[in-house]
Amino acid sequence: MAKHWKIGLFQSMGLMGSWRMPESTSTAFLDLDHWLTMARRGEEEGADFFFLADDYGYPVVGDGIPASAVRAGVQFPKADVSALLPALAAVTDRMGLVTTLSTQVELPPMVARKLATLDNLTKGRVGWNIVTGAGQNASARLFGRELTEHDQRYAIADDHVDLTLKLWEGSWDDGAVVADREPGVYADPDRVREIEHEGPFFRSHGALSVPPGPQRTPVLFQAGASEPGRALAAKYAEGVFLAAEPAAMKAQIADIRRRAGENGRDPRSISCLIAGTFYVAETEDEARAIRERQRSMRTLEEAAASYAFYTGLDLSRMDPDKPLDPSAGLTQTGRTNVERYLGPNAPTVREILEEFQANSVMGAPYVGTPEQVVDAAQEVLEETDADGFLVQPDHAGDFDRFFDLVMPEMRRRGLIAPAGEPTTLRERLGGSGPHLDASHPGAAYRRATEPARA
Ligand SMILES: Cc1cc2nc3c(=O)[nH]c(=O)nc-3n(C[C@H](O)[C@H](O)[C@H](O)COP(=O)(O)O)c2cc1C
């Protein structure tokens, strides 16, 4: 039998695009109960993980935040998702919890310590979405720094992850924690050590002060599809999030798997997940009507603010009847959402704005009855060679309709796994054990044998 699809649930701690719709729950993003209810339900329904996107950035156009972005809540407000994780951990025990930390903002020992602590507290259910950060121009202003060039950010990310892996894998050997009260030995000093790192951007001679959790290294995810983004994914990621038209995703997935193979990794050990929204109702007409209502919620001005957040480019100042100037592809902010609109059949600026108004950074949504959307999802998965979906909240800002209507249909067709017993996130996603696969570069930092005590 074919592998089961992996299902992640996407959220960020802010407003969803259609928050003005009366049924939307996303204005409750600062209410803890809103999150606990959603997480409990996701776990009951058998979702594989809950994913929290995050970023310090927000839209900046010219010399400030566009009024349209503040008024309509476009990527602003946005609260800190790391405050939410322990609360979600307390009300779940099977679902993975994947969080986002930027390699531009958090230093490697901070990432290593926070996530090692959480991996213990969640019994091995944590994942790290490694990002260089989408809203770069805003976060450079906020932190009072120069904007770091795009490719340089990925070079920094590579060095960051290398050091972070050394801390997770190399500081504590298996069996280092003895916790024996009688002789008064908590840890065996021969099995705990400082690591050395002399990289192009980071230097460290130090030890992680937290004993490893069940996974040691949390499951590593990556989401930028630009060229250096894919190179980073092929080197380190165990899960990749993609959002584009099926033909583009097919090429991106093939490229990531090919490069992973060239890096000596098993190309199939990377779960490629398509980020997608399901607008679903009992009838196709009803689903289409919801979709139209949702589309009308965002103005073109707000779409321009959203595009500026992801790319640093202000479409509202460009000729609407011409395609993007190819030099746009050299933006020092995010590139994924510029590159997708360049090339032979490039759309005009107006068409890009309309596309962003309708779908933002996502590909076309799945709209229709439960049978229709699952048919379409099956087709896209087969075409792209992906492993599952990162489900985006629909017009209601949550997953209730996905749980009520879509998951039962997927389950009926045997496409998703039954809820199952608690396990680590890595094993839940198909890993043969709780730790990094032997072919992953991080595994080389683990001490295979125990040193003999003199
Ligand atoms: C499903 C999905 C989730 C993402 N989550 C985040 C996130 O939480 N934070 C972030 O800064 N970028 C996130 N990104 C990536 C950005 O859209 C952007 O591509 C990236 O940060 C900039 O890198 P690039 O130049 O490779 O595009 C996500 C992308 C996708 C497809």
Cα–Cα distance for residue pair 337/307, rounded to 1 Å: 8
Q: What are the tens digits of pLDDT across the range 374-428?
A: 999 999 999 999 999 999 999 999 999 999 999 999 999 999 998 778 899 999 9
Please indicate whether residue 243, judged by its CB atom, sits closer than 6 Å to ligand 1: yes
Name the residue of 222, 356, 361, 384 whose CB sits within 8 Å of the most ligand 1 atoms, as the mutation to test its pocket. 361
Query: Is 331 a domain residue?
Result: no
Residue with the two structure tokens 């989401």: 223
| Ligand 1 touching residue 135 (CB < 6 A) | no
pTM: 0.95
Instruction: Please report the atom of ligand 1 found closest to the CA of residue 228.
Output: 26
Q: Does the CB atom of residue 336 touch ligand 1 within 6 A?
A: yes
Longest dimension (CA), the chain: 78
| Domain that residue 135 falls in | 6-176+185-283+364-443
* Distances, alpha carbon 219 to alpha carbons 109, 213, 248, 329, 428, in Å: 17, 12, 25, 31, 11
User: Is pLDDT at 449 greater than 60 in this prediction?
Assistant: no
Cβ–ligand 1 distance for 129 under 6 Å, the answer yes
Distance 315 CA to ligand 1 centre (A): 20
Whether 162 is covered by a domain: the verdict is yes
57 lines ligand 1 (CB under 6 A): no
Based on the structure, what is the number of domains in the chain?
A: 1
Indicate the pairing of strand 271-280 with strand 388-392: parallel
Nearest-5° Cα angle at 224, 269 to 197 = 75
Residue 37's pLDDT is 98
Stretch 334-350: mean pLDDT, rounded? 90
Q: Would the pLDDT of 192 be above 70?
A: yes
- Residue 339 is assigned to a structural domain of this protein: no
With bands split at pLDDT 50, 70 and 90, how would you rate the model's confidence at 26?
very high
What is the pLDDT, as a whole number, of residue 46?
Answer: 94
- Asked if residue 329 is part of any domain, the answer here is no
Question: Ligand 1 pocket test: which of 76, 80, 85, 131 has the largest number of ligand atoms within 8 Å of its C-beta?
Answer: 131
Cβ atoms of 1 and 414 closer than 8 Å: yes
Q: What Cα–Cα distance (Å) separates residue 371 from each residue in 313, 366, 400? A: 39, 11, 17
288 Cβ neighbours under 8 A, 6+ residues apart? 367, 368
Supply the CATH number for residue 123's domain: 3.20.20.30
User: Would you say residue 277 has pLDDT above 90?
Assistant: yes
Domain contains 292: no
Per residue in 345-381, pLDDT (tens digit) is 899 999 999 998 988 888 889 999 999 999 999 999 9
Query: Considering only 26-30, 116-120, 446-450, which range has the smallest mean pLDDT?
Result: 446-450
Judge whether 199 lies within some domain: yes
Dist. CA 162 → ligand 1 center (Å): 20
- Cβ of 241 below 6 Å from ligand 1: yes
Ligand 1 atom with least separation from CA of 133 = 11
Mean pLDDT in residue range 18-30: 95
State in Å: Cα 232 to ligand 1 middle: 13
Closest-CA residue, ligand 1 atom 8, reads: 53
Q: Ligand 1, residues 12, 336, 356, 390: which to mutate, most atoms within 8 A of Cβ?
A: 336
Contact 227, 252 (CB under 8 A): no
Q: Does ligand 1 have an atom closer than 6 angstroms to the CB of 157?
A: no
pLDDT averaged over the chain? 94
Q: Which atom of ligand 1 is nearest to the CA of 57?
A: 11
Q: How far is the CA of 224 from the centre of ligand 1 (A)?
A: 5
- Structural domain includes residue 135: yes
Q: How confident is the model at residue 448 (pLDDT cuts 50, 70, 90)?
A: low
Give the burial class of 290: count Cβ atoms within 10 A of its Cβ; 0-12 exposed, 13-18 middle, 19 or more buried. buried
Does the pLDDT of residue 23 top 50, yes or no? Answer: yes
Per-residue HEC secondary structure of the chain comes to CCCCEEEEEEEECECCCCCCCCCCCHHHCCCHHHHHHHHHHHHHHCCCEEEEECCCCCCCECCECCHHHHHHCCCCCECCHHHCHHHHHHCCCCCEEEEEEECCCCCHHHHHHHHHHHHHHCCCCEEEEEECCCCHHHHHHHHCCCCCCHHHHHHHHHHHHHHHHHHHHHCECCCCEEEECCCCEEECHHHECCEEEECCCCEEEECCCCCCCCCCCCEEEECCCCHHHHHHHHHHCCEEEECCCHHHHHHHHHHHHHHHHHCCCCHHHCEEEEEEEEEECCCHHHHHHHHHHHHCCCCHHHHHHHHHHHHCCCHHHCCCCCECCHHHHHCCCCCHHHHCCCCCCCCEHHHHHHHHHHHCCCCCCEEECHHHHHHHHHHHHHHHCCCEEEEECCCCCCCHHHHHHHHHHHHHCCCECCCCCCCCHHHHCCCCCCCCCCCCHHHHHCCCCCCCCC
C-alpha to C-alpha distance for 57 and 148, rounded to whole angstroms: 14
What is the average per-residue pLDDT within 303-331? 90
Question: Measured from the CB, is residue 312 less than 6 Å from ligand 1?
Answer: no
Asked if residue 315 belongs to a domain, the reply is no
Instruction: Tell me what pLDDT residue 420 has.
Output: 78
